[in-house]
Amino acid sequence: MATATTMVRAQCAGADDAEDRRENFTIADLSREFDVTARTIRFYEDQGLILPTRQGLNRIYSRADRFRLGWILRGKRLGFSLAEIKELLDLYEVDRSRVSQLRAALKRARERVVDMERKAHDLQAQIAELRELEAGAVQMLRERGADPEKD
């Protein structure tokens, strides 16, 4: 299994597998590769995140579209909004060295980590409070001769 660092390097450098050497992809190709529905891909297209060309009624996705779709899905898994993902993707169009994109991604990732750590702390506090409530309720039920495990 690839680590997050390996994935970022591969995406930034351009991975060297057979799929990456192809020039064009159909919606079925991308749907299968990324395990998403065609509807999901069309949604990202409607949002302006990927821009396939058309041949008649068929959508033809480029390597750049494939790359962008990978970043979109990764960004969604990490909790970024579509607006944040679009901002990061659009930075590549401005700075092909990807320095701006990487700096922005680093900043956003650090912000997400801080937010997630705060949420994790809040959840741990809620769990502890619920455990106290649970222990108190069990004790009070036992004091009253009731079985705390009976619903």
Contacts with 29 (C-beta within 8 Å, 6 or more apart), sequence order? 61
Q: What SS3 state is found at 24? A: strand
pLDDT tens-digit readout, 32-88: 999 999 999 999 999 999 999 999 999 999 999 999 999 999 999 999 999 999 998
pLDDT in the model for residue 78:
92
pLDDT tens-digit readout, 83-110: 999 998 888 878 878 898 889 999 999 9
Question: How far is the C-alpha of 109 from the C-alpha of 91, rounded, in Å?
Answer: 16
pLDDT in the model for residue 14:
46
**Domain boundaries 4-109, CATH class:** mainly alpha
Instruction: Give the DSSP H or E segment for 17.
Output: none
pLDDT in the model for residue 15:
45
- CA-to-CA separations, 71 to 10, 90, 119, in angstroms, rounded: 11, 12, 24
pLDDT in the model for residue 81:
93
Domain boundaries of the chain, sorted by first residue:
4-109
pLDDT in the model for residue 13:
44
